[in-house]
Amino acid sequence: MIGFELTPEQKALQEKARRFSQEVILPVAARYDRDGTFPLEVMEKAHGSGFFTPLIPKEYGGEGLGVLDNCIIAEELAAGCMGIYVSIFVSTLALYPIIKFGTEDQKERFLKPFCSKFSMASYCLSEFTVGSDPASMKATAIPDGDHYLLNGTKMWITNGGYADFYLVFATTDPGKKDKGIISLIVPSHLAGVSHGAPIDKMGQRASNTTAVTFKDVRVPGENLLAGEGEGFKKAMIALDITRPMIAVGAVGVARTAMELAIQYAKTRVQFGVPIARHQAIQFMLADMAKDIEAARLLTWKAAWLADQGAQNSKEAAMAKAFASDVAMRVTTDAVQIYGGMGYTLWHPVEKLMRDAKVIQIYEGTAQIMRLVIARQMLHEVGGIF
Ligand code: COS
């Protein structure tokens, strides 16, 4: 049975997120983009509205929602500003492995306080020289009595400068590649934890992105989330869940660009008529609409599979690859429809185009997504060897 009608509860979530986006995010989006500063006040309000804790079960103080529910929320928040949305979203990336794999003690110590007071968490996988190939990471976590000694620097850490704790992936032995990777929950107040200055970026400038350095940090053994042979897989499983949430953010960005392009095309007159009357413009608008619809449906399917507890790596990668390409194309075409006006800082479409670019890069590049899809396809037909 296939149905595309949202439930009354999902419609209410969508409406709540849309109102938040229009009343809290949109009015400040341009300012934070310009300044490149962090919208802490928006984060606090978003946390208060439950947008930081959607997947945390109610017994720990969270919203107890599913992945698809959260995608419905995410599209609305990202439609206001992708940089602000991604700063809200990233806690879910860091928290999901604790929800899914954490011990009861870890859930009590980390999930409950996270829900009851304004907090942030970050996911630390990438390094300066390690992006698409996390199995080759250099950060080490060496057992030391009942602790781990953590050393290394993680890079491109969203909310790195604000996180109360980090979910860190490190290796016990770089020679073991993916089999040596473990995962630790690292409170930011531990001695030896520090972060760099915010990185000045092309787009999504409201999000805080830093390097985070761990120098001889003694992490208690009870903060081990995933041991040897498990850390890498758990990192990948988390990304399967969160890639739809990024894909649907791309849908939100593209949707806003399309809405702005439609408004502009209706009012901008050339050759005596609004440019929306010209077929060249109509075709661009039609392509935007069909691609956005397709991206949303791919994303919803990947999210729905996750909610069924089904393997969704291929569909999550399809959604992320397709939606991020759509966002790039639609925002570029929106700038094209605005013409010279679109290339100035007077109109918001240039921001959307800058914001779209990194969606093809972070959370798995467009090329890695195709690799994941192809590997799974070939696996389904018995492999290639
Ligand atoms: N779910 C569960 N297990 C998974 C998995 C998934 N989605 N993906 C891989 N694994 C398992 C494999 O089954 C394999 O296990 P076994 O050795 O027991 O068979 C193990 O993990 C290693 O997998 P693989 O050999 O495929 O690893 P690779 O090093 O070749 O890397 C890619 C695979 C490229 C898909 C992975 O490195 C990746 O996703 N890279 C992008 C990382 C990324 O998104 N970074 C963005 C920053 S994080 S915000």
Tell me the per-residue pLDDT of 236-250, one tens digit each, with 9 for 90 and over: 999 999 999 999 999
> From CA 192, how far away is CA 300, in angstroms rounded?
41
pLDDT digits (tens, 9 = 90+) for 91-120: 999 999 999 999 999 999 999 999 999 999
Same domain as 366, residue 273: yes
User: With a 6 A CB cut-off, is 160 part of the ligand 1 pocket?
Assistant: no
Q: Is the Cβ–Cβ distance between 202 and 191 less than 8 Å? A: no
Same domain as 112, residue 170: no
Q: Is the Cβ–Cβ distance between 106 and 225 less than 8 Å? A: yes
Instruction: Among 236, 368, 384, say which to mutate for ligand 1: greatest number of ligand atoms within 8 Å of CB.
Output: 236
* SS3 state at 252: helix
CATH number for the domain spanning 39: value is: 1.10.540.10
Same domain as 244, residue 176: no
What's the structural domain count of the chain? Answer: 3
pTM, two decimal places: 0.97
For 177, the domain range is 121-229
Same domain as 88, residue 138: no
In a domain, 3, yes or no: no
Mark the ranges of the chain whose per-residue pLDDT is less than 50: none
Query: Which position has the token pair 């010209």?
Result: 278
> Which residue's alpha carbon is nearest to atom 37 within ligand 1?
133
In a domain, 385, yes or no: no
SS (H, E, C) 166-185: EEEEEECCHHHHHHHEEEEE
User: With a 6 A CB cut-off, is 127 part of the ligand 1 pocket?
Assistant: no
Widest CA span in the chain: 79
Instruction: Among 127, 156, 232, 241, say which to mutate for ligand 1: greatest number of ligand atoms within 8 Å of CB.
Output: 232
| The last residue of a domain, from among 207, 229, 251 | 229
Structure tokens at 383: 């492999």
Strand boundaries in the chain, DSSP class E: 121-124, 140-144, 147-158, 165-171, 181-187, 193-195, 209-220, 224-226, 269-270, 273-274
| DSSP output for 62-127 | S----HHHHHHHHHHHHHH-HHHHHHHHHHHHHHHHHHHH--HHHIIIIIHHHHHS---EEEE--B
Same domain as 251, residue 181: no
Same domain as 90, residue 145: no
In a domain, 2, yes or no: no
| The last residue of a domain, from among 116, 131, 157 | 116
Same domain as 369, residue 266: yes
Cα 355 to middle of ligand 1, angstroms:
27
Same domain as 100, residue 145: no
In a domain, 130, yes or no: yes
In a domain, 39, yes or no: yes
CATH number for the domain spanning 225: value is: 2.40.110.10
Same domain as 225, residue 240: no
Same domain as 261, residue 348: yes
> From CA 250, how far away is CA 193, in angstroms rounded?
33
In a domain, 1, yes or no: no
| The last residue of a domain, from among 181, 213, 229 | 229
Q: Which residues partner with 182 through β-bridges?
A: 170
CATH number for the domain spanning 239: value is: 1.20.140.10
Query: Does residue 230 have an active-site annotation?
Result: no
Looking at residue 228, what is its pLDDT?
93
Q: Which residues partner with 147 through β-bridges?
A: 144, 220
Looking at residue 384, what is its pLDDT?
76
Helix axis angle, 82-101 relative to 67-80, nearest 10°? 160
> From CA 23, how far away is CA 374, in angstroms rounded?
42
Looking only at the bridges linking them, the beta strands covering 165-171 and 121-124 are: parallel
Looking at residue 385, what is its pLDDT?
62
Q: Is the Cβ–Cβ distance between 198 and 244 less than 8 Å? A: no
Same domain as 152, residue 81: no
Same domain as 224, residue 246: no
Looking at residue 1, what is its pLDDT?
56
